[in-house]
């Protein structure tokens, strides 16, 4: 069984020398697997995940939401890939059943994104549509 949830956050970033500081709405999809609860049938309680998401989004720029990703030393250069790996680390530490993080930026129909499954050798595919 794979269970997923999505969330968005608005943040600024730059990827020098290719882009200066600008903002996006980032869309994140978290997919969970592993042993399921015998009663509820789920590998993870999304209620717990949603509470944690609010925590990592933070308030007033203290987290991902409405922040400048460039200022977070744990991310490094705020490319799609580095932000995706950062989200992976945040969530995997709290929910070991995390199996995949997909991060997208831009508007539907012209989005770019990548997928990370915890293995640097895994193909992170660009979703330039
Ligand atoms: N594999 C990747 N390649 C590149 C990335 C990346 O994250 N992964 N990022 C960039 C630059 O950010 C890119 O040149 C600028 O694109 P974007 O961040 O989307 O900024 P835009 O000005 O294009 O914003 P839009 O909203 O998409 O118009 C380069 N390569
Ligand atoms: Zn950008």
CATH number, domain of 49, equals 3.30.479.10
Give, using CA atoms, the residue closest to atom 25 of ligand 1. Answer: 106
- The ipTM of this complex is 0.91
Task: Give 36-50 pLDDT, tens digit per residue.
Answer: 999 999 999 999 999
Task: Answer yes or no: are the C-beta atoms of 66 and 13 closer than 8 Å.
Answer: no
Task: Answer yes or no: are the C-beta atoms of 92 and 24 closer than 8 Å.
Answer: no
The preferred substitution site among 10, 12, 17, 18 for testing ligand 1, maximizing ligand atoms within 8 Å of CB, is 18
Residue 121: its pLDDT value, please?
59
Most distant CA pair in the chain: distance in Å? 52
Mean pLDDT of each 10-residue bin along the chain, 129 residues long: 98 97 98 98 98 92 90 96 97 97 94 94 46
Give, using CA atoms, the residue closest to atom 21 of ligand 1. Answer: 19
The pTM score is 0.90
Domain range for 47 is 3-127
Phi and psi at residue 54, to the nearest 5° = -60, -35
82 alpha carbon – ligand 2 mean position (Å): 13
CA–CA distance, 8 with 22 (Å, rounded to integer): 17
Say which DSSP state 84 is in.
Answer: H
CA–CA distance, 10 with 61 (Å, rounded to integer): 10
Tally of domains in the chain: 1
């Amino acid at each position: 069984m794979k269970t997923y949830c999505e969330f968005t956050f608005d943040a600024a970033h730059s990827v020098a020398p290719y882009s200066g500081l600008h903002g996006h709405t980032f869309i994140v999809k978290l997919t969970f697997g592993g042993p399921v609860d015998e009663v509820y049938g789920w590998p993870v309680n999304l209620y717990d995940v949603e509470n944690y998401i609010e925590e990592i989004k933070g308030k007033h720029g203290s987290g991902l939401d409405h922040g400048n990703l460039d200022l977070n030393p744990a991310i490094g250069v705020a490319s799609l890939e580095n932000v995706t790996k950062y989200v992976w680390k945040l969530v995997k530490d709290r929910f070991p059943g995390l199996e995949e993080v997909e991060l997208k930026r831009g508007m539907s129909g012209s989005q770019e994104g990548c997928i990370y499954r915890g293995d640097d050798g895994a193909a992170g595919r660009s979703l330039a549509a």
